[in-house]
Structure 1
Amino acid sequence: MRRLAAAVPLILALVAVDSAHAAPKAKPRLKAFSSCQSLVDYARQGALRTDGGVGVVGRAVPSPPVTIATPPLMPAPTSDTTVGGIVPPAPAAAPVSAEGGTEVGGTIPDFSGTNTQETDVDEPDVIKTDGRRIFTVTDGTLRVIDPSGVVTGTLALDGNEHRLLLRGNRVLVIANKGATPTSVPEGVAIAPTVAPLSSTTIVTEIDVSGAPKVSRTMEVPGRFVDARQNGAVARLVIDAVPQPIIPPEGESVDDAVDETTLGDFLGRTVLKSNLSGKTFRRNLAPCDAVTHPNQFSGLDVLAILTVDLDRGMYSLDRDGVMAGAQVVYGSAGSLYVASQRYVRALELGTDVPEGMRTEIHRFDVSDPTKTVYKASGSVPGFILNSYALSEFNGDLRVASTDVPPWQPGGTAVAPSSRVTVLRQDGAKLNQVGAVGGLGENERIYGVRFMGERGYVVTFRQVDPLYTLDLSDPTMPKVVGELKIPGYSAYLHPVGENLLLGVGRDGGNVKTSLFDVSNLAAPREVTNLQFPSSSTSVEAEPHAFLFWAPKKLVVMPLQSYSPPFTGAVGIHVEPNALSEVGRIVHHVDARPENAPVERSLVIGDKLYSLSYLGLSTTSVDTLAWQGYTVF
Structure 2
Amino acid sequence: MAGVGITAAIGFVFALSSLGNTLIPPEVSSPEIFNNDDGGAGPTVFATATQALKKFSSVDELKSYLLSVEANRGELETAARSFFGGSSISRGDVVNPTVTDQGTGLESLQSSAPPAPSSADAPRLAVIESGDKDYSTTNVQVQGVDEPDFLKNDGKYVYILSGDRLTIVDAYPPENATIAVKIALDIQQGQYLQNMFLNNDTLVIFYQEYSRDFVIQQYDFAPQPISRPNTHALLLDVSDRENPQVLHNYKVSGNYNNARMIGDQVYLITTSDLYDYRNPILPLVSESSSTIVRPDIYYFDNPDLYYTFNTVTSIDITADEGENAVNSTTFLMNPASTLYASEDNIYIAYQKNHPYYYYQSHSKDRFFEALVPLLPQNVQQEIREIEGNSDLTPSEKWDRVSELLQDTYNHMPESEKRRLFEEIRQALADYDERIAKETQITVIHKIAIGPEGISYSSRGEVPGRLLNQFSMDEHGDRFRVATTSEFYSPYRGSTMYNNVYVLDEAMKIVGKLEEIARGESIYSSRFMDDRLYLVTFQRIDPFFVIDLSSDAPKVLGELKLPGYSNYLHPYDENHVISIGKETKENQYGGIETLGIKLVLFNVSDVNNPAVVDVYEIGSSGTDSEVLYDHKALLFDRSKNVLSIPVSIYPDYAGPRYTEDGRYIEPKVWRGFYVFGVNPEAGFMLKGIVEHLNDTGDYYYIYGTQGSRSFYIADVLYTVSLNNLIKMNDLQSLNKINQLEIGPSGSIIKSPQLEDDTK
Per the alignment, residue 318 of structure 1 pairs with 328
Q: After TM superposition, list the pairs within 5 Å mapping 1:337-376 onto structure 2.
A: 337-345=348-356, 354-355=436-437, 356-365=440-449, 367-376=450-459
> 1: CA distance between counterparts of 2:539 and 2:361?
32
Q: CA deviation at 1:514?
A: 0.7
Match of 2:716 among 606, 610, 621: 606
TM-score using structure 1 length: 0.76
Per the alignment, residue 263 of structure 2 pairs with 231
Check whether the contact 2:647–2:671 (CA below 8 A) recurs between aligned residues: yes
* Secondary structure class of the residue paired with 1:507: strand
Q: CA deviation at 1:412?
A: 3.2
In the TM superposition, what whole-angstrom CA distance separates every residue of 1:339-360 from its partner, at most 9, and x where no partner exists?
3334103898886962221122
Q: CA deviation at 1:47?
A: 4.4
Q: Structure 1 residues 381 and 430, CA, compared in 2 at 3 Å: closer, same or farther?
A: same
* Secondary structure class of the residue paired with 2:131: coil
Q: Structure 1 residues 497 and 556, CA, compared in 2 at 3 Å: closer, same or farther?
A: same
In the TM superposition, what whole-angstrom CA distance separates every residue of 1:491-510 from its partner, at most 9, and x where no partner exists?
00123411110110122111
Per the alignment, residue 146 of structure 2 pairs with 122
Q: Structure 1 residues 531 and 162, CA, compared in 2 at 3 Å: closer, same or farther?
A: same
Using the aligned pairs only, state the percent identity.
26
> 2: CA distance between counterparts of 1:308 and 1:361?
23
Match of 1:479 among 551, 556, 559: 556
Counterpart code for 2:250:
M
Q: Does 1:43 align with 2:66?
A: yes
Further displaced range: 211-220 or 315-324: 211-220
Per the alignment, residue 93 of structure 1 pairs with none
* Secondary structure class of the residue paired with 1:550: coil
> 1: CA distance between counterparts of 2:210 and 2:60?
30
Q: Structure 1 residues 400 and 129, CA, compared in 2 at 3 Å: closer, same or farther?
A: same
* Secondary structure class of the residue paired with 1:118: coil
Q: Does 1:144 align with 2:168?
A: yes
* Secondary structure class of the residue paired with 1:38: helix
Match of 1:6 among 3, 6, 13: 3
> 2: CA distance between counterparts of 1:565 and 1:439?
36
Q: After TM superposition, list the pairs within 5 Å mapping 1:281-292 onto structure 2.
A: 281=291, 285-286=294-295, 288-292=296-300
Per the alignment, residue 82 of structure 1 pairs with none
Q: Does 1:553 align with 2:604?
A: no
Q: Structure 1 residues 38 and 348, CA, compared in 2 at 3 Å: closer, same or farther?
A: farther
Check whether the contact 1:480–1:521 (CA below 8 A) recurs between aligned residues: yes
Check whether the contact 1:381–1:404 (CA below 8 A) recurs between aligned residues: no
Residues matched between the structures, number: 519
Q: Structure 1 residues 349 and 550, CA, compared in 2 at 3 Å: closer, same or farther?
A: farther
Query: Greater Rg, structure 1 or structure 2?
Result: 2
Per the alignment, residue 153 of structure 1 pairs with 181
Counterpart code for 1:338:
A
* Secondary structure class of the residue paired with 2:508: strand
Q: CA deviation at 1:160?
A: 1.8
Match of 2:524 among 446, 451, 457: 446
Match of 1:205 among 235, 248, 256: 235
> 2: CA distance between counterparts of 1:419 and 1:459?
16
Check whether the contact 1:154–1:212 (CA below 8 A) recurs between aligned residues: no
Q: After TM superposition, list the pairs within 5 Å mapping 1:479-518 onto structure 2.
A: 479-505=556-582, 506-518=593-605
Check whether the contact 1:6–1:299 (CA below 8 A) recurs between aligned residues: yes
Q: Structure 1 residues 156 and 44, CA, compared in 2 at 3 Å: closer, same or farther?
A: farther
Counterpart code for 2:710:
L
Check whether the contact 1:295–1:341 (CA below 8 A) recurs between aligned residues: no
Q: Structure 1 residues 241 and 410, CA, compared in 2 at 3 Å: closer, same or farther?
A: farther
Q: Structure 1 residues 629 and 578, CA, compared in 2 at 3 Å: closer, same or farther?
A: same
> 2: CA distance between counterparts of 1:436 and 1:385?
19
> 1: CA distance between counterparts of 2:305 and 2:739?
49
Q: Structure 1 residues 119 and 403, CA, compared in 2 at 3 Å: closer, same or farther?
A: same
Q: After TM superposition, list the pairs within 5 Å mapping 1:213-228 onto structure 2.
A: 213-228=245-260
Per the alignment, residue 341 of structure 2 pairs with 330
Per the alignment, residue 461 of structure 1 pairs with 539
* Secondary structure class of the residue paired with 2:638: helix
Match of 2:671 among 525, 550, 566: 566
Q: CA deviation at 1:48?
A: 5.0
Per the alignment, residue 735 of structure 2 pairs with 624
Q: Does 1:391 align with 2:474?
A: yes
Counterpart code for 1:319:
T
Q: Structure 1 residues 306 and 420, CA, compared in 2 at 3 Å: closer, same or farther?
A: same
TM-score using structure 2 length: 0.63
Q: Structure 1 residues 348 and 568, CA, compared in 2 at 3 Å: closer, same or farther?
A: same
> 2: CA distance between counterparts of 1:443 and 1:220?
37
Match of 2:682 among 576, 592, 607: 576
> 2: CA distance between counterparts of 1:168 and 1:236?
19
Q: Structure 1 residues 334 and 267, CA, compared in 2 at 3 Å: closer, same or farther?
A: closer
Counterpart code for 2:232:
I
Check whether the contact 2:535–2:541 (CA below 8 A) recurs between aligned residues: yes
Give ranges in structure 1 of 5+ residues lacking alignment: 11-25, 57-100, 189-195, 246-256, 273-278
Per the alignment, residue 77 of structure 2 pairs with none
In the TM superposition, what whole-angstrom CA distance separates every residue of 1:366-418 from its partner, at most 9, and x where no partner exists?
x313111112221111111111111112101110111257xx99983511111
> 1: CA distance between counterparts of 2:211 and 2:503?
36
Check whether the contact 2:643–2:674 (CA below 8 A) recurs between aligned residues: yes
Per the alignment, residue 164 of structure 1 pairs with 196
Q: Does 1:418 align with 2:499?
A: yes
Counterpart code for 2:691:
H
Which structure carries more helix by proportion?
2
Q: CA deviation at 1:282?
A: 5.2
Structure with more relative contact order (C-alpha pairs < 8 Å, separation 6 or more): 1
Give ranges in structure 2 of 5+ residues lacking alignment: 8-48, 75-79, 81-126, 221-225, 363-431, 583-592, 652-667, 742-758
> 1: CA distance between counterparts of 2:227 and 2:617?
38
Match of 2:628 among 513, 519, 539: 539
> 2: CA distance between counterparts of 1:102 and 1:337?
29
* Secondary structure class of the residue paired with 1:296: coil
In the TM superposition, what whole-angstrom CA distance separates every residue of 1:550-589 from its partner, at most 9, and x where no partner exists?
221111111112541122112211222122222223599x
* Secondary structure class of the residue paired with 2:709: strand
